Structure 1
C-alpha cells in the first residue's frame, strides 16, 4: 500500500510539472512536498501567507493623499496693466523772505495720471491773514480767505500750471511764517500739498528830517538839526547818516568821520518808534561866496532792510549873503577957541 501511494504521488507530481510550463507557474515544494507562495507577489505586495520580520516580506509604504492646488490665475503682462487714476499737486514759493507791502506770486502745477477721458480740475488754497489776494493765473476767485481756481478740463498725462498773486500785509510781523495749505481735485481724486514756508523779513522804515537857516553870512558857521526816526516794525541795526556838501564839520553830538565831500556819522541801533536828534555846526568851503546857495544833503542807511527808501534822504539849502559892513568912523568935530576974534564977512553989517 505504501508503495502504491508513493507512485501515485510521484505521478501526480509529474503531472503538475508537466503542466507548469503551460500555466507559467513554477511551484515551490515545501518540506511535505506541497506548493507554497511565501514572499512578495507579482505586484510587489506580500502574499497571502506573508509574515512580518527580518528576511520576510514587508508591507507596502503608506502613501499620503495628493493635495489638489487651486488653478493659477493668468496674469496680464506689466505693460498691459491699466494705471489707476491719480492727481498730483506741486507748489513753490517766491523766496525764503518776503517784505511787507510787496506783492509776490505763489506758483503751482497740477498733473493728472491714469487713463480715460479728461476731467475738470479745481485748485483751492487757504491764505493766512498776513496775505491779501490780488489775482490768479487761471480762473481764480476768493471767498473770505479761500482762493479757488478752475483749471478746466485736464487730460490724463497733462500738466497745468497756475499761480496766485498776493500782497504781504503791512501789519505782518517780522519773522512771521507764511504757511499756505492747498488741495486739487480731478475726476474724484484728490491731492493735498503745502506751499514752501516763507518768512516775513525783518524790516525797519527809517525816516530823516533836517532843518537849516534860510540865509547865512559868508564865512560864518552854519548850524543844522537832523532827526532820524524808525517807524518799525523791527529794530534798525547799524544806522549811519551820510552828509554831503561843500562844508567842513566843526562840532557835532555824534561819532563822525570826514569824507571827501562831507562826513558820515554813526547812530547805532534804533528801536521801533525811537527818534534820535543830531546837531552839527559846519563851515562852508572858501569857494562858497556871497550870493550862492549852499546845498547840503543827508541820507540815512541801515543793515536792516528798509521797504520804504523814499523818506531816507533830506536836502536843505542856505543862501549865503555878504558880510555885514563895518560901521564907518565919523571924523571928530573941530571945537572953537574962546576969546578968539570973529571975522565978519564982507558986506555984513
Structure 2
C-alpha cells in the first residue's frame, strides 16, 4: 500500500525484537535509505517512546555533520588547556546520521552491514585472508573515536554512556561502493582519512539503552546504578564486571571495558571474549583476560600493530572501573600507537 500510494519502492529487510527494517528508494531522486519502524506487536507507551527519542537525540546531535556538535565546542576547550587536548573531529564522523525522525520511525543511510559481519566474513570475500594487523589497528581507532564522539564530551567530561556496546552496534560503510549521490558523497567525504587505507568507515548506531549523565555542583560526573540491578546480574560477553555484581556505582567507563572486548574481537578475527567458554560471568567478574585463538596469534602475534592492540585490550578491560582509561584517553593512545606503527612500517 505504501508503494502504490506514495510512489516509493520499499522492501522489508529484517525484523528484530522491537523493530522492522525496510529499504526504500525515493521516487524524487532515486536515493536509497533505511526506514526503521516499531513492530505493531509492541505496546506503545511513554517509556517506549522515550527510547526512540533518546536514539534520535544522540544521532541527531552527533551524527549529522551539518548540525552543531558538542565535539566542536570541546575542541575550543582543548585550545586553552593542553591537559585536555582533544582529537580533531573536522575530518571524521563515527556516529551514523539520521535523515529524519518521527516518533517510532527513523530514516537513515544504507550501510553495508555491521562490524561483526565484516570481520567474520572477511576471509570469504578475500580468498581466505584475514584482516591485516595494521588495518585492525586502524579499525580500532575508528571504534574508539566513535565511543568518544558518542559520549559527547563537554568541558572535558562525558555527558552520555552507551551501556550496550558490541560489534553489532557499529555499522559499516564502503564509500567506494555507495551510489554517487550528493548526500552520500558528503557522507563519505567526512571520513576520507579512513578511505585511503582501503578499509570501511565505521559508525555507531542504536543508542536507546544509553543514558545521559549528571554532574554534581563541582562539575564532576555523578555515578549511577543500573535499573533492576538487584534482580538481574546477568550480562553478555561484552559487558563489564560491574554488570554482574549487582547494585554498585558505575560511570561511563563501563563502556571502556566493552571497547576492550571489541579490540579483542578484532585481534581474534571475529571471536568474542571467552568464545571457548560456555559460561563466562565468573571469568569476567574475576578480571580474567580472554585468550586470543592460537591461529590468530600465530598469524599476527609478532606484528607491532598486534602488540599495540593487545596492550589496549588489557588497559580497557581492567577489573576496577577507576583503572580503566576514558574514551578520550583511549583515542589519544591508539592514535599515537597507530602513528608509531605506520612510521615504523614505512
Shared fold (TM-score, shorter chain, > 0.5): no
Taking CA–CA contacts closer than 8 Å with sequence separation of 6 or more, which of the two structures ends up with the larger relative contact order?
Answer: 2
Higher radius of gyration, 1 or 2: 1
TM-score of the two chains, using structure 2 as the length reference:
0.16
Higher strand share: 1
Higher helix share: 2
